[in-house]
Amino acid sequence: MGKKEIDIEIDRLTNSIENSVTGEVFDTKVVQLGKSGKKEIKPAEWLFDWEEELNLSDREVYKLVTVNNPKIIHGMLCLEDKSDHIFINLVESANFNKGTNKIYLGVAGNLFAFACKFSFEKGYEGYVAFDSKSALIDHYNKKLGATHFKGSRIIGMKKYFQD
């Protein structure tokens, strides 16, 4: 399995998602998907193979849903505990939340915030790392305060998610 690079833009940093047309706000929650979560994933709707991620014992897969409608997955996240930080292996918005015609804003921000919160809960002071598409390194620096480490590796972000 080759290295996967994160290719998701952060449009908003909120504790909810917002309908891009109406501005209506929906509270969200991030829920872990277990092995039985495979039946919730429709592979044709995702760029990455999330079923493969669910099969790896050293990783945990999470889904972002709204509190009032937990059956619709707005985004997914795969995390790995590295004993001193959390590594984000994959993060992806659902197809209907991508591009200029996305339905909801804030999906990616919610997922990155969850990774930092998870890091705080583990005692890692909010530190996370991930491999970014090179074209988005500056974007992550500006939106999240992330630091370009080397190659495509990004670290940091905790200061944006301490509250």
What digits encode the pLDDT tens for the residues 33-56? 988 788 889 888 898 899 999 998
Q: What's residue 146's pLDDT?
A: 66
In a domain, 30, yes or no: yes
Q: Which two tokens stand for residue 111?
A: 């997922």
Could you tell me if residue 6 is inside a domain? no
Q: Is 5 inside any structural domain?
A: no
Residue 3 lies in a domain: no
36 domain-assigned: yes
Query: Is residue 11, in this structure, part of any structural domain at all?
Result: no
Establish if 108 belongs to a structural domain: yes
CATH number for the domain that contains residue 157: 3.40.630.30
Taking 3-state DSSP, the helix, strand and coil percentages for the chain, each rounded to the nearest 5, stand at: 30, 35, 40
If one counts the domains in the chain, the total is 1
DSSP 8-state code for residue 84: S
Q: Which residues are within 8 A (CB) of 141 and not within 5 positions of it... i.e. 6 or more apart? A: 147, 148
pTM: 0.82
Please check whether residue 63 lies inside any domain of the structure: yes
Give the span between the Cα atoms of 130 and 17, in whole angstroms.
Answer: 23
Q: Where in the sequence is the domain holding 157, given as residue range(s)?
A: 16-161
